Structure 1
């Protein structure tokens, strides 16, 4: 075996230390691909042969490090995403084979140290965990952790079994495995995942120093006689008393969502803690295999790896006519017109990205009030130690409140963020265009108003683009970029550059009323309001939203969006439909909204009363009048709990959004599935386990039900599990079933039936 054939470069020095440098010749990063599996097996065989029993070997210790910028990128997601239930046996054997190599490394009679030079996530950390000692370089951007649960998986390369034995069951689950936390080296040290953090240039020297020092040990703690898991194991009476709270807390955290990975990760940890390390590793492999060959991991890998890379990597960035990329554009100074909550948030993220920001409103007092939002955020960041006085002062110094358009004379981009009213926006855009330079991009933060129509009132229509931010802007990662009919592709490319500069995840859509995200979220909120109007208990409707996996249930969302705005948007949509000769199917929603607004004066969270009651801006519970006064006002007959099928309600929510997304695809509003998936998860809270609205259709699995059982709720009828329903055909079958029962809005579009 020559070194050129092996990704583990072998260097033996005069002190008897072998440095194994991982450097996959066929990939930009090291992953647990076939090359790794073959080469680690061959390397282990060579180590065992040359070391023997350790008595006469020149090898005194081993350093595992990497020649790449990262230490090790983890599992081969392309390979894993293709695994099906038919591949279960092969997948299990492959994982077991790879883990056997790591196990052989940690049982060598000489000490092994992992010199972690950069990011070590998932499988990367699992390689390091097989060493006796871990030294991490304090490299910029380096992340250490086990994020598998965020991809619908669990750490299957020994991560669960070893971390449980290193820091205890509770800490392993709550701090590392179930959170999927990606920690900087210092946090990883505090958590107990690494043993030492050093400057990058001192990494190999520190690794050698440990190997040559008195504390170097070749035996893992869990291989020593009498080893006990920190904090106890399930056989320990004190620990056993607290064990029932683990699944209870997880259920509370998941809110009934059908997400499998956290549950199986907990089972692997608890079951594995009751047996020896080798049996624990096998238990872990079985649960990993179940997840990696199932539908949820496919969905989540598609969304959070492939689709996210598409969005963040410029997958929707247009090219010039000759096929070359547009030159990257820099933004040094931007203007935000409208200093309300949205405008204030946009100003903050721009200033945080290092841009000069002009925050304009009709009065200086209003503009300064908008800046105070940033001041509040920075005060909290200082309090929590997330920034310094110097950095905070510099950030706030970049925001200039003003009432004068004269301050917009040299900006690169302007973002209008005034009230959602067409006439007002036309007036403001005319004022903006007269004040800014010819090179300035004209952006509008609108959530529903067609961009082409807004652009028709400016001279430079080609420079006009929609930049739809989500509230609160400082927390929400998504930005929806809307290209109007006349938007210049160069402006779209530049807008994507802006999104990257302010660290947002961009999706690109074409123009229509509501674009993509607002249009789709409107369908699910309306569906929830229909359920209330039909007589379902509002508490049950909210429970269905939570159990589906939505981060916020629908009535809560309605309160946050505000019924006044919803009524206004519904009115404009209704008027547009009438103009086109289209009849809308609105059910009992308009009457319900009208009663809430004009009879009971409960518009939403902003006014402190909506579907929920509020105290000091915090929800205290659903308004009791929903099951009393509102029902009496509208003549609603309550549906008894025993006649309620939770799964049916869940399916109505998931399907109505997926079907509307398909219509967006058919109409050319969505051009890439990745934009649909990322937009639905990061923008409007579509459940992560589905992989997004497009992936939910393409990889539909009728066997997934809420609560983890077959059928759920009072009747279990049409909401019961149907594992035979798979893919687009299965989706269509269930959609037609819902349409027959609830109306044609659930009928699958012809494009799916084909």
Structure 2
């Protein structure tokens, strides 16, 4: 009787409607290749080259090999490349220990990955993905080195998370074959790939990129070129909102709790520590310089002042430095830095807890609307699924667009 009384409201309520729309209809729509340009034969990637055997490159190599694709994992030394391959071995050994895979199958997958420091091993690759450091000059150099070896009809892709693809494509001798493939870390666990089309990216290149992402059993969303693309730009507003709340004098623990209660997997202060405050500042300075070159100005926000003070005044750059918004005692659990209260007046101001939760949600939804108005992202399904699977927007909302759609025009 109790179940019968409450089931109808659960089945047809806002949350269930949101989740059914996202995870049944929209996910199915993406999986069927709704963004794939028509008129091109299905392409099966046979040999992929990956430039950079760090965390991202190693993860892409693992996901590709798991789908039966031959992989060339290139780094500046054989030792570094081998370390990247060892990442796959570690994951496969774990699967064997849990009884999810046989040794024979694991050996077969590992045999598909060839670690190397020699660019000539990229010969015959029909796809090359660069996953090197976020430096334009470095990406240009490895692109040119790879294109001299790979198939002329092959796709050259960048795993950049923020650098404009059109700018990176200037280093390519075949810009029509150049595209962005933004994977999320850790690649073996994160299901999303953000595909970014530059100004000269051809429809055939997009079709091949979509086919590859589906081939490795990931979920693709397609966006147009802009600084930060879609996911990086939207999650940036989430982080900035949390740091802005701290600058306003709101309690740090309440900020993190509001994010968690709203359904976000990681609070804004914790994610800032993970990203590293110095890295965040470097990205801001690079963006500022790029906009300055275009005759534009980057407005400084409250979050920027918080980051600058944390680094310059308190020497707390994040988890990598052992101290940031949180303290990281060796062998112990992280705890919020008590000095936040004195540094930013944390706790000196209060606003309703529900308002804090809604600020985190609405700031990302509104940035998504701007992205749609600017043509960065065109499909509602891509925005909703991309926000949930890529940047941890709460699943109960149905995604960034559905969250505001459910309110209707009056509200």
Give the TM-score normalised by structure 1.
Answer: 0.53
Per-residue CA deviation, residues 356-383 of structure 1 (Å, 9 max, x unaligned), is: 1111001111111111211221222122
- Higher mean Cα deviation, 655-664 or 385-394? 385-394
Partner SS for 2:171: coil
2:47–2:126 CA contact under 8 A, matched in 1: yes
For 1:361 and 1:699, the matched residues in 2 are separated by 48
Partner SS for 1:609: coil
For 2:389 and 2:218, the matched residues in 1 are separated by 11
For 2:32 and 2:316, the matched residues in 1 are separated by 43
1:335, distance to aligned residue in structure 2 (A): 0.8
Correspondence 1:637 to 2:345:
yes
> Which structure is higher in RCO with an 8 Å CA cutoff and minimum separation 6?
2
1:624, distance to aligned residue in structure 2 (A): 2.5
Partner SS for 1:624: coil
Alignment of 1:592-671 (within 5 A): 592-615=306-329, 619-628=333-342, 631=343, 636-640=344-348, 643-671=350-378
Partner of 2:404: 697
2:264–2:394 CA contact under 8 A, matched in 1: yes
Instruction: Decide whether aligned partners of structure 1 residues 437 and 519 sit closer, same or farther in structure 2, where only a CA change above 3 A counts.
Output: same
Partner of 1:284: 3
Partner SS for 2:266: coil
For 1:584 and 1:649, the matched residues in 2 are separated by 26
For 1:467 and 1:378, the matched residues in 2 are separated by 24
Instruction: Decide whether aligned partners of structure 1 residues 640 and 564 sit closer, same or farther in structure 2, where only a CA change above 3 A counts.
Output: closer
- Higher mean Cα deviation, 364-373 or 441-450? 364-373
Partner of 1:687: 394
Partner SS for 1:491: helix
1:586, distance to aligned residue in structure 2 (A): 3.4
For 2:198 and 2:330, the matched residues in 1 are separated by 41
1:310, distance to aligned residue in structure 2 (A): 1.4
1:600, distance to aligned residue in structure 2 (A): 3.4
Correspondence 1:454 to 2:168:
yes
For 2:332 and 2:292, the matched residues in 1 are separated by 39
Alignment of 1:294-693 (within 5 A): 294-320=13-39, 326-580=40-294, 582-615=296-329, 619-628=333-342, 631=343, 636-640=344-348, 643-693=350-400
1:583, distance to aligned residue in structure 2 (A): 4.7
For 1:597 and 1:339, the matched residues in 2 are separated by 30
Partner SS for 2:286: helix
Instruction: Decide whether aligned partners of structure 1 residues 387 and 607 sit closer, same or farther in structure 2, where only a CA change above 3 A counts.
Output: farther
Instruction: Decide whether aligned partners of structure 1 residues 330 and 519 sit closer, same or farther in structure 2, where only a CA change above 3 A counts.
Output: same
Alignment of 1:17-56 (within 5 A): none
**Higher alpha-carbon Rg:** 1
Instruction: Decide whether aligned partners of structure 1 residues 286 and 492 sit closer, same or farther in structure 2, where only a CA change above 3 A counts.
Output: same
For 2:205 and 2:331, the matched residues in 1 are separated by 40
Instruction: Decide whether aligned partners of structure 1 residues 612 and 386 sit closer, same or farther in structure 2, where only a CA change above 3 A counts.
Output: farther
Instruction: Decide whether aligned partners of structure 1 residues 411 and 618 sit closer, same or farther in structure 2, where only a CA change above 3 A counts.
Output: farther
Give the TM-score normalised by structure 2.
Answer: 0.95
For 1:312 and 1:555, the matched residues in 2 are separated by 34
For 2:269 and 2:346, the matched residues in 1 are separated by 18
Per-residue CA deviation, residues 192-223 of structure 1 (Å, 9 max, x unaligned), is: xxxxxxxxxxxxxxxxxxxxxxxxxxxxxxxx
1:308, distance to aligned residue in structure 2 (A): 0.5
Alignment of 1:177-188 (within 5 A): none
Partner SS for 1:305: helix
1:532, distance to aligned residue in structure 2 (A): 1.1
1:676, distance to aligned residue in structure 2 (A): 0.2
Partner SS for 2:228: coil
Alignment of 1:186-225 (within 5 A): none
1:606, distance to aligned residue in structure 2 (A): 3.3
Count of aligned residue pairs for this structure pair: 411
1:564, distance to aligned residue in structure 2 (A): 2.3
1:465, distance to aligned residue in structure 2 (A): 0.5
Give the CA RMSD over aligned residues: 1.7
1:608–1:617 CA contact under 8 A, matched in 2: no
Instruction: Decide whether aligned partners of structure 1 residues 483 and 290 sit closer, same or farther in structure 2, where only a CA change above 3 A counts.
Output: same
